Each structure stands twice: as structure tokens, then as C-alpha cells.
Structure 1
Amino acid sequence: MSGSIFFEDYEIGNKRETIGRTITETDIVMHAGQTGDFYPHHMDAEWCKTQDFKKRIAHGTLIFSVGVGMSAAEINPEAFSYGYDKLRFIKPVFIGDTIKVRVTITDKKEHKRPNQGIVVELCEVFNQHGDVVLACEHLLLAKRKNHK
């Protein structure tokens, strides 16, 4: 899809996938500084050695924001983000992991504004092993064609 995409143009089952992006220590440090989340799971390598995963993990909110950014490759002037539902951090992401995103149109719903509808996209973030590490539903508020 490219250009102007209206509510009627979205088809359930359509998918798009991104290329990969490797998560770095710099990503984690910058995210901690931006959010104030210096929790030891992300920042303390020695403490993490005593925990289940044995190494630092990326913030779930970092993976969410990077994944959302990766999936926003095209600008559609006829739709905008209405929010996210059912956000889950399924598996940890570690420094050096490479993530990819798959977005699938799963539903279309009516909206109280008759000139718009809601498009539901399932966003799944995968690591380099093909494991889903994050999933959520992205809601798009899309204009209808020729509605007065």
C-alpha cells in the first residue's frame, strides 16, 4: 500500500514485513536516560548474572517503540494512529538481538464518526530466531471514501 489509503481499501489478511534492526547497548542506555528506567534488569550486568536470563535485557518499551517505528515505513494521509491494545512483552530481547516486525490487518470496525472507521493491525516483533518477542494490536482511524 502506498499513497492515500481509505478505510475501504484495507483488506483483512494483508501483511507487510520490515527488514531487521539489531538492538545495541547504546539503544538501551539512551532509552534508560529518556525514560528514567534504570532498573537493574537493563543496566546492571553483574546483577543480571544472578538472575534467570543471566544477561541484561532491553526494556519492553524500547522494543515497542523501535518496532512501531520500523513498521511505519509509509505515510498515509488518510489514517492516523488511534492507539494500541493488548500489548504483551512475550520474550526478552538481549543486546545484539536483531528484530523484525510483521503487521497483519486483522479487523475493520465501525466508528462513531460516520466518515471514519477503525482498522486493526496485529503487530508482531520477532527476534533472529523467529520467536515472537512482542505483540500488540495497532488501531488506525481511517477516513472513508467519498463520505460527506
Structure 2
Amino acid sequence: MKVQEICFDEYKIGEQRVTSGRTITEADIVLHAGQTGDFYPHHMDEAWCRTQPFGRRIAHGTLILSVAVGMTAGDINPMAMSYGYDRVRFVRPVFLGDTIYVTATIREKRDDSKRPKHGIVVELVEVRNQGQQIVLACEHLYLVER
């Protein structure tokens, strides 16, 4: 990780970060189920899943969100902090063995009415699979010093 101080005014609309790939494994799914208590059969029961429309197990949407967030967290900006996630959508299933890639694009900058010394930066996060299909999309909000 590297430290890079970027203030609100230095963020540019359209600026983009793209990650390398990460393959989703059995261990990822089992660990996430154990951490969250989500043992829903769509994630854990291979035999049952063969009788369902997707025909196989799928990764938890919250697992893919968590992994994607981690994939984009390589740089530390002490001028900014995560303010939350909006409009989270699980667009397509992610299967065991799929490889995901994340593109994060600065979409918007706006004032923060509660904190005049800060602004809000909105980053569009799109997670794609190895076939370049979007599997998850959301907006990541940053609270950034001016």
C-alpha cells in the first residue's frame, strides 16, 4: 500500500482505477458463510442447486461486495474516508471459479452541507466477471477534506 494525499479539489470526474483479477474459491464462500451466518442453500448445497435455475452454487452478493471493496483499497489517502455505499445491486450471479475485476470511476463531486471543510466524492464501482459481464454495481461515497 502507498500513501497518497489527495484533497477534494484534486479528484477529477471520469478518473478511473482498474484492478487485476481475483478468483472466487470454495474457501471464500465457506469463510463468508461462517462469518455472516448465511448458510442459505444457494451458497452451500450443491445437490439442491442442481435442481435450481442456475444449476450450481453461487457466491454471496455480500461476499462479492466485500472482495471488490478490498480489491480497490490499495492506496491510503489520509485526506479521505469511506462514507458508505449507495445503490448496491447484485446484477448477475458469481459462481465458484469465476474471476472478478473491479473498475472504479469518479462520477460526481458535491459539497457536504454538514461539513463545509469537506466534500463528497462519489465513485461508481463496477465488478465484472471473466466474460466482462457486470455482476455487481454500486456507488462508493468518500468524505474528503478540501
Output the TM-score relative to the length of structure 1: 0.96
Aligned to 2:119: 117
Looking at structure 1, the residues matched to 125 and 70 of structure 2 have their Cα atoms a distance apart, in angstroms, of 11
| Structure 2 runs not aligned, ≥5 long | none
Aligned to 2:67: 66
Looking at structure 1, the residues matched to 125 and 73 of structure 2 have their Cα atoms a distance apart, in angstroms, of 11
Q: CA shift at 1:73, angstroms? A: 1.0
1:16 paired with 2:17, answer yes
Runs of 4+ in 1 over 2 A off after TM superposition: none
Aligned to 1:99: 100
Aligned to 1:108: 109
Looking at structure 1, the residues matched to 3 and 109 of structure 2 have their Cα atoms a distance apart, in angstroms, of 19
Q: CA shift at 1:2, angstroms? A: 5.9
Q: Any conservation in 1 of the 2:3–2:78 contact (CA below 8 Å)? A: no
| Residue aligned with 1:16, SS | strand
Root mean square deviation, CA, Å: 1.0
Aligned to 2:45: 44
* Identity between Structure 1 and Structure 2 (%): 64
Report the AA paired with residue 130 of structure 1.
Q
Give the count of matched residue pairs: 144
Aligned to 2:57: 56
Aligned to 1:79: 80
| Residue aligned with 1:114, SS | coil
| Residue aligned with 1:54, SS | coil
Looking at structure 1, the residues matched to 8 and 95 of structure 2 have their Cα atoms a distance apart, in angstroms, of 38
